[in-house]
A and B are shown apart, each in its own frame.
Chain A
Amino acid sequence: MSQTAPEIRLTRARSRPLEKVLRWLFFACAAISVLTTLAVVGVLSVETFYFFQQVPASDFLFGTRWTPLLEPKSYGILPLLFGTTLIVIGAAIVALPVGLACAIYLSEYAGNRTRDLVKPILEILAGIPTIVYGFFAITFVTPSLRTLIPSTEVFNAASAGIVVGIMVLPMVASLCDDALRAVPNALRDGAYSLGATSFEVTARIVVPASLSGIFAAFVLAISRAIGETMAVTLAAGATPNLTLNPLESIQTMTAYIVQVSLGDTPAGTLSYQTLFAVGAVLFAMTLVLNLIANAIMNRYRDVYE
């Protein structure tokens, strides 16, 4: 904080015991966040370690059948990974282009009044609980899909993917909007004065200049889609299926975790430990994506400041 008062602080802190106690109390509060991380990493790795003592890591990572709750038991996570991938692809197809187009409209075309109107609406969309999106998938998106393509199964990856896309859309739009608005107006003015149209300014100047920020937004959106649980559990089904057909029922990693916790699985059993092994994969994937996004964002912030 302020450089002007260090001496006062030193003498006061020594003479007043309360100050010292409070300082440590506040430090303890801040340390809880570090403890949380340690707990997450610790719990996930210990239980996953026990899991790997019974199931070889190669069977887990490369096996193509996931039937831990049925005989014959098999612990290959690939079907769950494929399920999650399908959802991520669906969500990306919906959220990335629409989110970017929204952001371009907001930052390049909309006047202040329109912005003040649209931004809160996007915030409302972002604040709607995921369970509501799950409900929307079941009662609106799936029936619509089944009318359009009759071969669609009741539970299918497409419906869940679309809804997850709608869910992450506001985040993509708002992060892309920030990135686009960080581009200095001098660049736009320069292009306009050379006679470029607004499309040319956007597509050849503004978007390329903010590409890293847009990319970071996309990575964060994908990380969100991987971790999304309720919409996927409700709409995508519970059949671990090694398929790339979005009209079939699948199961994602998150949906499997919910399925296990719904049943009363005793602690210490192998099926209880699968929960942590799948959770560890999920945690690792989202962590890596978040770190990548943060690294990209930190880099591009330096460019125009």
Chain B
Amino acid sequence: MNTQAQRLKKRHRISAAFKCFCLSVTCLAIAILGVLILEVTVLGLPWLNIDFLTRFPSRFPEKAGILAGLAGTLWLVSLTAAIAIPIGVLAAVYLEEYAKPGRVSTFITINIANLAGVPSIVYGIIGLAIFVRFLGLDRSVLAGAMTMSLLILPVIIIASREAIKAVPSSLRQVAFALGATRWQVTRDHVLPQAMPGILTGVILALSRAIGETAPLIMIGALTYIAFVPEGPMDEFTALPIQIYNWTSRPQEAFHELASAGIIVLLLVLLIMNATAVWIRYRGNKNRFR
């Protein structure tokens, strides 16, 4: 009797210890995020001021700024958005509203899922071979934006398809019954209903494009740029490239500059993600009233 009670006690002790273990591991993961943010803020905050935001890169850390990177990232994201959003959303419209279920549509779906898992540096190789060399776009913002578009297209298509799928089909049936064409149904009923979901996906995809470094290095964006690009054919640099450049130098001062750059990058991403959350929240509130 006594031994049985002891065994039961032991089993409960093991169980409690296991719960403690899982909890502390989860806390550890959260603590890592804390350490990361603390490290970046402590190193970078003293460098973060108006001068840093309005100066060009320099060999002297105290004179260096992030303007070229910030402007390059803005150019890159705007062009990427202009290329990838229409293509991605319309591809999702085709797959959800137009394509008949069958081999072609299954093949495209599987293909998109696999593209989403291709490492970003492979997109960089393709960008280098096709956009930079074959199409002769050189190291322009346009070449960068086209490479990034290929990278985020699968993300946009998958998110938009989910959003379109969530639109109830009764809505389509009513519109069809009143004689609307497929395009009218899509344009006037499906897309407006799916818009919050599509926008959320698009913003998340664009924030991925802002953070990606490797494909841009591949197409040769890691050069000394001390100007703001004025057209899509200009050379450019971007925030993550500038951060990479500073991090790869041995001097401590450049590491501090890099963390100031990281703060700027994370703030940009934070603003975009907050917008996505806000749109999702508003969309949920207004839907199907």
Contact = CB atoms under 8 A, between A and B. Distances in A.
B87 A129 contact: no
B114 A227 contact: no
Given A132-B36, A229-B121, A199 B19 contact: yes
Residue with the greatest number of chain B CB neighbours at <10 A, chosen from A5, A44, A110: A5
Given A19-B181, A223-B117, A226-B119, A118 B126 contact: no
A40 B182 CA distance: 34
Interface string A97-133: 1100110111011100000001001101101111110
Interface stretch (B105-113, B191-199, B226-234, B278-286): B105-113
Interface string A212-230: 0000000010010011111
Interface in B30-61: 30, 32-33, 35-36, 39-40, 43
Contact of A283 (B15, B122, B154, B176): B122
A216 to B, nearest CB: 12
Contacts of A40: 118, 122, 126
Residue with the greatest number of chain A CB neighbours at <10 A, chosen from B126, B204, B210, B273: B126
A69 interface: no
Nearest to B34: A121
Interface string A255-280: 00110011000010000000110010
B118 A261 contact: no
A279 B122 contact: yes
A34 B111 contact: yes
Contacts of B177: 5
A258 B19 contact: no
A102 B25 contact: yes
A304 interface: no
B18 A294 contact: no
A33 interface: yes
Contacts of A13: 181-182
Interface string A185-198: 00000000000011
B162 interface: no
B129 interface: yes
A5 B99 CA distance: 14
Given A33-B108, A229-B119, A105 B87 contact: no
Tell me whether chain B's interface is mostly helix, strand or loop, or mixed: helix
A29 interface: yes
A178 interface: no
B96 A1 contact: yes
A98 B25 contact: yes
B11 A131 contact: no
Interface residues of A, number: 91
Interface stretch (A52-60, A72-80, A135-143, A242-250): A135-143
Given A30-B94, A34-B108, A105 B22 contact: yes
Contacts of A236: none
Contacts of B99: 27, 30
A33 B125 contact: no
Interface in B220-253: 220, 222, 240, 243-244, 247-248
B128 interface: yes
Residue with the greatest number of chain A CB neighbours at <10 A, chosen from B11, B21, B40, B90: B90
Contacts of A286: 117-119, 122
A23 B99 CA distance: 9
Interface of A: 1-2, 4-5, 8-9, 12-13, 16, 18-19, 22-23, 25-27, 29-34, 36-37, 39-40, 43-44, 47, 97-98, 101-102, 104-106, 108-110, 118, 121-122, 124-125, 127-132, 134-136, 138-140, 166, 169-170, 173, 197-200, 202-203, 220, 223, 226-230, 233-234, 254, 257-258, 261-262, 267, 275-276, 279, 282-283, 286-287, 290-291, 294
Which A-B residue pairs are the 7 nearest by beta carbons? A227-B119, A129-B211, A26-B94, A197-B15, A105-B22, A199-B15, A290-B117
Given A101-B26, A127-B207, 7 more contacts: A29-B86, A29-B94, A30-B157, A43-B126, A170-B29, A220-B117, A227-B122
